[in-house]
Amino acid sequence: EIVMTQSPATLSVSPGERATLSCRASQSVNSNLAWYQQKPGQAPRLLIYGASTRATGIPARFSGSGSGTEFTLTISSLQSEDFAVYYCQQYNNWPLTFGGGIKVEIK
């Protein structure tokens, strides 16, 4: 099983600042990496797939990068609606696995 490790567990950021979220895979997942955003009481929302492709309707301030084992989600200028938990997911191997999540909170 591929283990996905996200860091840091919590990220404190001021509105308007840049946020950089990391995700590491225990073995290569090529570019088969997705990012989701989840707000309290809501279902997750797909942000990024293929490591760097934004899903439909996702603002350009969200960008993804990386391949192999190291991945990054960058939010260029945090808006109030971006404070949430972010999960990465690999879909290169069975079983499909998620990271533990990163909570982005207001500083």
**Binding site residues, other proteins, CB under 8 A:** 32, 34, 36, 38, 43-46, 49-50, 55-56, 87, 89, 91, 94-101
Compare residues 28 and 98 and give the one whose CB is closer to other proteins.
98
- Beta-strand relationship, 45-49 and 102-106: unpaired
Minimum Å gap between C-beta 37 and other proteins is 12
**Nearest-angstrom CA–CA distance, 53 and 47:** 8
Decide if 88 contacts 73 (C-beta within 8 A).
Answer: yes
CB of 45 to other proteins, least distance (A): 8
Nearer to other proteins, 13 or 46 (CB): 46
The first and second tokens of residue 34, run together, are: 């997705």
